Structure 1
Amino acid sequence: MRAPAALECAPPPAADARAAHPALFSSGAALPSRPGSPISTSDTDEHEHEHDGEAGDATEPLLPRYRLATADEVVEEKDEARRGRRRRVQRIAVLVIASLVPVGITASLFAATSSCSTAKASRPYESEALSSSMPRLNTSFAPSLAQQYLADPESVNDGVLPFDSTAFDPLYRPVPLEHPLSTSSFASSASCFERYIATGTICTAYDGRWTDEAARPKLDAVWTWVNGSSAELMTSWREEAAQEGARRSRVRRWTRRAMRAVRRRLRGAAVLRHFREHDELRFSVRSVVQSLGASSLSTLHLVVGDTWAFSPADRERLDPDDVSRQLRLAQLPHWLDLSSIAFSEPQVVATTSAPQLLVHPHSEIFKAGPALGASGALAWQQKVLPSFNSLAIESQLANIPSSTSASTAIYLNDDFFLHHQLETTDFASPLAGPVFRLQRDLLVKGVAPENAHEDPEGEWRGLGYSAWLLDQRFGERARPYLVHVAKTLSLPIAREMQQVFLADMTKTAESRFRGRGPSEVQPLFLLTHYTIEKHREALLWSFLVARSDLDRSGTYSHAERRALLSSLGHELDSPSSSHILQTFRRIAFDKPQCGDCIIVLLVGKSGEAGLESFLPPASEGDGAFADEASMGEQQAEALRPQAVGLEGTDWRTIDFSRGLEDEEQGRKPSLRAKCAALIHRYSYTLGSSPAAFESIRHGGDLLSAQLDKLDAAFFALNDDVMGASASSMRDVDERLEKWFEKTWPAPSAWERAQ
């Protein structure tokens, strides 16, 4: 292996388990199986990105795709009487929920549904495999409000899901370092780690480890979605409620406003049902399942907006002891089948077999810094939610619970799609880490906050600030733009980066709308280049600190200096000494080009595979001398995650002498093995795949031709139709839907019957 070129959930035991919690054991759609295919590769990157200020961003309100229906369009709906009856039933369900909350009836209303065992009518695309693998409840907890709502066969997807906000802790709590996909497979053997990094040789104990499809590492998929039309309505509703005087009694005022607000949201949901938002999210989900196959996926995470079930002004006047004060409504895409999805809460246990779809409200993942304390964190969260800023939402993705996740995920906006048959290794490998796709002809330079770009609502202000943060931490350089398609997200590294840049990530989360905050990061750009820089840092730290300071004195002795320079092909007779960390900082960060040259030189001196020249010398007992039999005996020797330099955001002030400390007890892996684990933790691959960014500006035959020519493995469809007539927009909708259905005809397991 070389440095990169650019530098439980078992099936339910009996039918009664399904009857108790039908929402957790649904009969979803059969997931299409995918024939074996080679790894998808390409020698060219066909992606071209247009910098249009994020037009069409699905997490921003008031987008062209979200428009109100005219009277003529409403009349044109087929079977209006039948649809009207269904809408009335849906409205009644939500209005009952809203109107009964103040008098404490909601809890009993939902509690009564927990005993129901009536199954929903079977669908023509049922899948027993999915129903046996849905997440299950920890039986030590009573079913929550949201779980009972999902379990009720009479519940209707009206675009909202009620839940109790007290289920989530609003305070950020750091988690211990976790092994990413690139190291978890070797975590039980320090010797195998060491041998693989040093020589590129894989222990025979790992031969055929992933031959069995069930044993192969799986991927998660993460979508962020906010109903933009509803977002605008909720914002107006909140502002109106805050300005309203206290002329009416508490119950009368609350009831009237709650019913009016819910009706308004239902009208918004009806608009979305009519125009279907082009249904990008639904077909994006289909595209991932069809391209990768069910066996490659673990959990599909849908991160959605949520808000109070009543206005802030009314909530202030509710009885402090009334549990209804905690009721929130999470947004749901209208096409989801409630019985097939799960709502993420602490008592939900993840599955390890067929994929599940897990809904995460913003209230679960938005976390305030620990300095605020519990009460301050709750106030902070109430201030920043609901959020319609894609950057703010992405800044909190690291807070997706690790108990419900694979270690690596595909991150998609709702208008990102996968088109070809792909493998998990197109996104990540247990040997080579995540796959990053960079647009190397478009470089991003750091811009200090006081010199911020003038496009606050676009992407370049956040990119410049993120690059500046990277400059402060790793040294100044221009960094490639990320191709604007689905991206690989390492959740363990994202949680590590969040700890390092917590202040900036939290500050970004405080901007409810794009560009409103003083400084916002581009989280995916920051994470990708953080991984790349940490791998480079690990290589140089291993060589200049761990390998070259053999006596651990903190300075280079004459002999150590001679050995170091000899490793680089130079000889030195001077007896003077120098400080190790000063040398490391200068080479790695102050003059990063010097560090790059050293890496290229040492890679060349390490042979055809491996990174031997970066590691401390082998000693007795290390993997370099161990035979295969002794390595097999060491499989129980767990190697902890290794990291250095996590104490700050400025390379000038970080104490790089700390790190890779010995374990307190038990057998201690060698420094060489720890350096190997450190390097491998941040392994990554640079990929080049057919990718496209398609801007939809017109309808008609031109749009159909544009779609029919689309043959990229990764692409984004950006809705830039502006100023079109109602008939033109209907044409766009119809052509897109026709092409979507032709390209991904199989419904996913989580779609309700049409």
Structure 2
Amino acid sequence: MTPWSANYKLPPWEACEELKNKADVLADMIVVPFEQSVEDVILEGWEDDWIAKARYNGPILEEPKIDFVYNWVNGSQAEFVTTMHPYEINSSLNDAEGLWLESHSTNRYREWNELRYSIRSVEKYAGNFTNRIQILVNAYQIEGPSRNGSYIVGKQKPHWLKDNLETVQVISQEEFFGPEERKCLPSFDSLTIENQLYNTKSETDRLFALSDDMLLGKVHAASDLYSPLFGPTMGFKDNAYNTLKPPSDEDAERFGEKPFLIYTSWLLNRRFGARKRKGQMHFGHSLSRSIAKEAITSFPRPAMRSAVQRFRGETGFQLYSWYVMFHYTIERHREALLWSYIMLRSDLDDDGYLDWKERKKILKELSEGMGNETPELWRERNYYHVPEHLEKAGLEPPKVNTEILWTSLDGPSMIKDLDCDAFDTEDCLAPGFSMPSSDAMARSPVFSSAAIFDRIARQNPRCGDCLVKLILNRRQQGLGALLPSAKRKPKQREVVVKALMKYQYTIVKPDANFYMVTDAEQAEHILLKPLIKHKKEVGQICLNDDVALANEEELEKLRLVMAELFDGLLPEPSSFER
């Protein structure tokens, strides 16, 4: 973390322009080898049995500690407005009529004092497992240079927050952006900032990323967000994206988050194969700093092009933080299983080629899997038993996100409702795969383990999904049917187990409500009456500012309703307030 200094000087305009040129020569994407990606993973001894057999026989585990990280801005602060204005004037979004300049920050930077109440909710409902609260803010320039020629700057801070707190950190962008990305500061684009979250320093890898308009409404267990056995919880909407062609100018003009979802879908398709991927729920997001770093930096050019945008939408498209991080995690877990089965387990002699003896073994195992016509009655559904597994490990089961739809210990989420009756080894694995004579004369390149892995992992992902599902059908529980032998290939198996632990995840239907706030009457009807007067309980609440009011009298009415709502939900000050 860069030491904060009041003599920090905002980067010159030219530095950011140079970074834009540098972004153009970077690769669109890179593939991180599993051996490299798991270097930060330390196993404690129970993980192999857990991954292979879905059976926990380890020690009593400690509850994980999680950071709560806020992206916050006080848009009403005069110094912030003055600092931002030159960048607004020079933004590519600024039109001749000045319409964007007049309207863009009305609700994006408006301050309703939500952060104070959100932090109250974290202390009240998640205090037992909170490690730190980190508030990410903007620097602002104080008028006039200092004597040595550098500009005096300050960093935003909630006026009600106590000084010198150990648990709560106020971190300016200059303190956590990467050394290259820092050249385009200050940034007023939440996507740009979120793509750098992994650089925030902490004792824990785990964080829960929030906006200040998000509140907890019930007591949470750590496992509502993350557990050592099942990984982070993820929630998805029903809308899905599958971008097969480079996004167009028309896509860039779509409403809200859609341009970024469309663009990131296109990138994920190129990296992992084409499929529909659902958009993430609009609430806090449970993340791993190490996975977030890998996900973002795996797309060097898109990531850098995102970093040079100071305002959302300047180039139409950006790498969408949450969408890429969630689906990168899911796809890497699936990729690890396919890599394990094809490259390590099935290639018995590690020569990079699947000969007839090795292929015949795969065919036998596929046949066994196909023989279980009703795998739903054969395979134990671990997602039904999450609480029992957690309690056996001494961990508190979920209290809020209790509707669990899937866990990675059940296999890739893509296989849940997948029909694999028409799985064809010739089409999916390689022409001649099931024919013993096909490699009698020479080693055909189509049978190289790398070629088959790429075919099922990326070129035809449905084939890979079916292969995993059929092989898993051979065992009642766990992922052991896809792992290399513990006796013959212990080091390779260890790498696989590390990868499957690192990229594990749980898909839930969150106990969360999303509200679009427009005016006082509407806020009273959808928020104040149900939540305060009728005492309706919601695990997680998101209040999206969709207010287009210009009348100060109407705005004041809304402020009063919101104040009554917040004080009704969370009347007690947190220990962090003055």
User: TM-score normalised to the size of structure 2?
Assistant: 0.73
CA distance in 1, matches of 2:110, 2:492: 57
Question: In the alignment, is residue 535 of structure 1 matched against residue 333 of structure 2?
Answer: yes
Name the residue aligned to 1:619: 487
Seq. identity, %: 30
Superposition pairs of residues 234-313 of structure 1, within 5 angstroms: 234-236=83-85, 277-293=111-127, 295-310=128-143
How far is the alpha carbon of 1:432 from its aligned partner? 0.8
Amino acid at match of 1:284: S
How far is the alpha carbon of 1:195 from its aligned partner? 1.8
Distance 1:207 1:407, change over 3 A: same
Superposition pairs of residues 594-613 of structure 1, within 5 angstroms: 594-607=463-476, 609-613=477-481
CA distance in 2, matches of 1:503, 1:749: 43
CA distance in 2, matches of 1:365, 1:297: 20
Name the residue aligned to 2:174: 363
Secondary structure of residue in 2 paired with 1:595:
helix
| Of 519, 522, 527, the match for 1:698 | 519
CA distance in 2, matches of 1:334, 1:688: 36
Report if aligned partners of 2:261, 2:320 keep a CA contact under 8 Å in 1: yes
CA distance in 2, matches of 1:701, 1:498: 39
CA distance in 2, matches of 1:673, 1:338: 46
Note the alpha carbon deviations across 1:86-134, whole angstroms, 9 max, x for none: xxxxxxxxxxxxxxxxxxxxxxxxxxxxxxxxxxxxxxxxxxxxxxxxx
Distance 1:396 1:240, change over 3 A: closer
Question: In the alignment, is residue 428 of structure 1 matched against residue 290 of structure 2?
Answer: no
Report if aligned partners of 1:556, 1:579 keep a CA contact under 8 Å in 2: yes
Report if aligned partners of 1:541, 1:584 keep a CA contact under 8 Å in 2: yes
Distance 1:276 1:287, change over 3 A: farther
Report if aligned partners of 1:447, 1:465 keep a CA contact under 8 Å in 2: no
Distance 1:697 1:600, change over 3 A: same
Distance 1:691 1:145, change over 3 A: closer
Distance 1:209 1:693, change over 3 A: closer
Distance 1:165 1:237, change over 3 A: closer
Report if aligned partners of 1:698, 1:732 keep a CA contact under 8 Å in 2: yes
Report if aligned partners of 1:602, 1:614 keep a CA contact under 8 Å in 2: yes
Aligned residues: 463
How far is the alpha carbon of 1:455 from its aligned partner? 2.6
Amino acid at match of 1:234: T
Structure 1: which 5+ runs fail to align? 1-136, 147-161, 211-215, 242-271, 342-355, 369-376, 623-668
CA distance in 1, matches of 2:241, 2:315: 21
CA distance in 1, matches of 2:88, 2:519: 36
Report if aligned partners of 1:470, 1:526 keep a CA contact under 8 Å in 2: yes
Note the alpha carbon deviations across 1:54-104, whole angstroms, 9 max, x for none: xxxxxxxxxxxxxxxxxxxxxxxxxxxxxxxxxxxxxxxxxxxxxxxxxxx
Question: In the alignment, is residue 410 of structure 1 matched against residue 208 of structure 2?
Answer: yes
Name the residue aligned to 1:381: 182
Note the alpha carbon deviations across 1:578-610, whole angstroms, 9 max, x for none: 111111111111111111111222222122x21
Report if aligned partners of 2:247, 2:266 keep a CA contact under 8 Å in 1: no
How far is the alpha carbon of 1:575 from its aligned partner? 3.6
Name the residue aligned to 2:546: 720
Distance 1:575 1:536, change over 3 A: same
Note the alpha carbon deviations across 1:534-583, whole angstroms, 9 max, x for none: 01101111111111111111111111111111111179451434111111
CA distance in 2, matches of 1:495, 1:481: 20
Name the residue aligned to 2:243: 446
Superposition pairs of residues 489-638 of structure 1, within 5 angstroms: 489-517=287-315, 519-569=317-367, 572=434, 574-577=436-439, 578-607=447-476, 609-619=477-487
Distance 1:595 1:725, change over 3 A: same
Amino acid at match of 2:171: H
How far is the alpha carbon of 1:179 from its aligned partner? 7.3
Report if aligned partners of 2:7, 2:150 keep a CA contact under 8 Å in 1: no
Name the residue aligned to 1:396: 196
CA distance in 1, matches of 2:87, 2:512: 41
Superposition pairs of residues 5-154 of structure 1, within 5 angstroms: none
CA distance in 1, matches of 2:325, 2:551: 41
CA RMSD of superposed structures (Å) = 3.3
Report if aligned partners of 2:70, 2:135 keep a CA contact under 8 Å in 1: yes
| Of 196, 200, 206, the match for 2:54 | 200
How far is the alpha carbon of 1:164 from its aligned partner? 4.4
Distance 1:706 1:217, change over 3 A: closer
Runs of 4+ residues deviating >6 angstroms:
238-241
Name the residue aligned to 2:150: 325
CA distance in 2, matches of 1:675, 1:437: 26
CA distance in 1, matches of 2:560, 2:525: 10
Report if aligned partners of 2:296, 2:324 keep a CA contact under 8 Å in 1: no
Name the residue aligned to 2:385: none
Report if aligned partners of 2:76, 2:110 keep a CA contact under 8 Å in 1: no
How far is the alpha carbon of 1:712 from its aligned partner? 2.3
Report if aligned partners of 2:527, 2:565 keep a CA contact under 8 Å in 1: no
How far is the alpha carbon of 1:422 from its aligned partner? 1.1
Note the alpha carbon deviations across 1:163-182, whole angstroms, 9 max, x for none: 6469xxx999xx985778xx
Report if aligned partners of 1:471, 1:477 keep a CA contact under 8 Å in 2: yes
User: TM-score normalised to the size of structure 1?
Assistant: 0.57
CA distance in 2, matches of 1:310, 1:506: 31
CA distance in 2, matches of 1:240, 1:576: 67
Name the residue aligned to 1:119: none
Distance 1:165 1:364, change over 3 A: farther
Distance 1:551 1:468, change over 3 A: same
How far is the alpha carbon of 1:447 from its aligned partner? 6.1
Secondary structure of residue in 1 paired with 2:335:
helix
Amino acid at match of 2:200: I
How far is the alpha carbon of 1:276 from its aligned partner? 9.1
Name the residue aligned to 1:56: none
Secondary structure of residue in 2 paired with 1:584:
helix
Note the alpha carbon deviations across 1:459-517, whole angstroms, 9 max, x for none: 11111111111001000111011111111111111122233123322210111001002
How far is the alpha carbon of 1:683 from its aligned partner? 0.6
Distance 1:223 1:701, change over 3 A: closer
Amino acid at match of 1:687: V
Secondary structure of residue in 2 paired with 1:367:
coil
CA distance in 2, matches of 1:222, 1:503: 26
How far is the alpha carbon of 1:737 from its aligned partner? 1.1
Note the alpha carbon deviations across 1:663-718, whole angstroms, 9 max, x for none: xxxxxx53222222222221100011222111112214861553332432122111
How far is the alpha carbon of 1:527 from its aligned partner? 0.4
Name the residue aligned to 2:70: 223
